[in-house]
Amino acid sequence: MNPAVLSNLSYGMYAIGSSCDGNPNACIANSVVQVSSRSPEKVLVALTKDTHSCKAIKASGLFTISVLSTDTPASVIGALGLVSGEHTDKLRNIRHKVLTEGVPVIKENTCCWFLCKVIATMDLGHEVVFAAEITAGSDVSIGTPMTYAYYRSEMHGLSPKGSPTYIPPENTFDRSSGESFVCSVCGYVYKDPNFSFEELQDNWTCPVCKMPKKAFVRRT
Ligand SMILES: Cc1cc2nc3c(=O)[nH]c(=O)nc-3n(C[C@H](O)[C@H](O)[C@H](O)COP(=O)(O)O)c2cc1C
C-alpha cells in the first residue's frame, strides 16, 4: 500500500480539553468521530499515549471537544498542537472557559463544544482510543467547521511527527520556484510569490507554530 493514499481519509479539526491536578490543558486532534447519534450520543477520540492530554483523560475520564472553525487562527493550532502542556500553561494566551467540571472549552472562533465522559478505552500500543458519551454541549453552532483538508490546503499547516497524518517536510516543498523556506519546527512552507522570504521583517513569525524567522531553513 502507498501510505500517501491514506490522505484520502477525511477528518475534522478539534481542540481536546482536559484537566490534570486541577490544571486545564488542551491539545489539537483530528482523530475524532461520532459513532452514535442515539441518546446518549457517542464519540471516539484517538490520542497518542505520551501526550499530557491522554494521561489526564485516562486519569479523570472527562474531556471536551471544541470544534475549530475556518476562522480559528493558525496560531491557536500551533500553540495547542505542537507544544505539550506538561510543563507549560498552553492556555495562557488562548481564549477559553473552564467548565464547572474543571475541563476547558476553547473560545477562539470555535463552532461549538461537547463535554464527554469516557465509557471505554482501547490501548493500541502507541495510541489510546477513548469511547465517550456526550453529556453536555452547545445549543447552537457558529461558523464553518474546519476540516483537516482545509487546514492543509488553505492554511498550509502540518501535523507533528508521529501523528497518523504527518507528512515529512521534504514531501511538501514547492519546488516550482527552485527553493523554499521551511519551518524546522512544524514544516510550514513559506511561499508568497509577491514577497520573498528575505524581505520579511525580523519579527515575522511562522503563521502555524509562531516560531521566529530564524527557525526557517532554506531548501533547494
Ligand atoms: C493538525 C494536528 C492534528 C493532530 N491530531 C492529533 C490526534 O488526532 N491525536 C493526537 O494524539 N495528537 C494529535 N495532534 C498532536 C497533539 O495536539 C500534540 O501532540 C500536542 O502537543 C499534545 O499536547 P499535550 O501534551 O499538552 O496533550 C495533532 C496536532 C496537529 C497540529
The tens digit of pLDDT for each residue in 114-141 reads: 999 999 999 999 999 999 999 999 999 9
Q: How far is CA 80 from CA 37, 44, 52, 94, 216, in A?
A: 28, 20, 11, 9, 20
Atom 15 of ligand 1, residue of closest alpha carbon: 81
CA of 173 to the centre of ligand 1 (A): 23
Best residue among 163, 166, 208 to mutate for probing ligand 1, ranked by most atoms within 8 Å of CB: 163
Nearest ligand 1 atom to the CA of 77 is: 31
Which DSSP helix (H) or strand (E) runs through 117?
strand 112-123
The CATH 2.30.110.10 domain(s) of the chain lie at 11-151
Nearest ligand 1 atom to the CA of 208 is: 31
The tens digit of pLDDT for each residue in 180-206 reads: 888 877 778 887 777 788 888 888 888
**CA 38 – CA 60 distance, rounded (Å):** 25
Q: How far is CA 181 from the centre of its chain?
A: 23
**CA 114 – CA 188 distance, rounded (Å):** 30
**Under CATH, to which class is 11-151 assigned?**
mainly beta
The CATH 2.20.28.10 domain(s) of the chain lie at 168-219
Q: Could you tell me the pLDDT band of residue 69, with boundaries at 50, 70 and 90? A: very high
Q: Looking at per-residue confidence, does 121 or 208 come out higher?
A: 121
Is residue 61's pLDDT more than 60?
yes
Which option is the CATH number for 168-219: 3.40.1160.10, 2.20.28.10, 3.40.190.10, 3.50.50.60?
A: 2.20.28.10
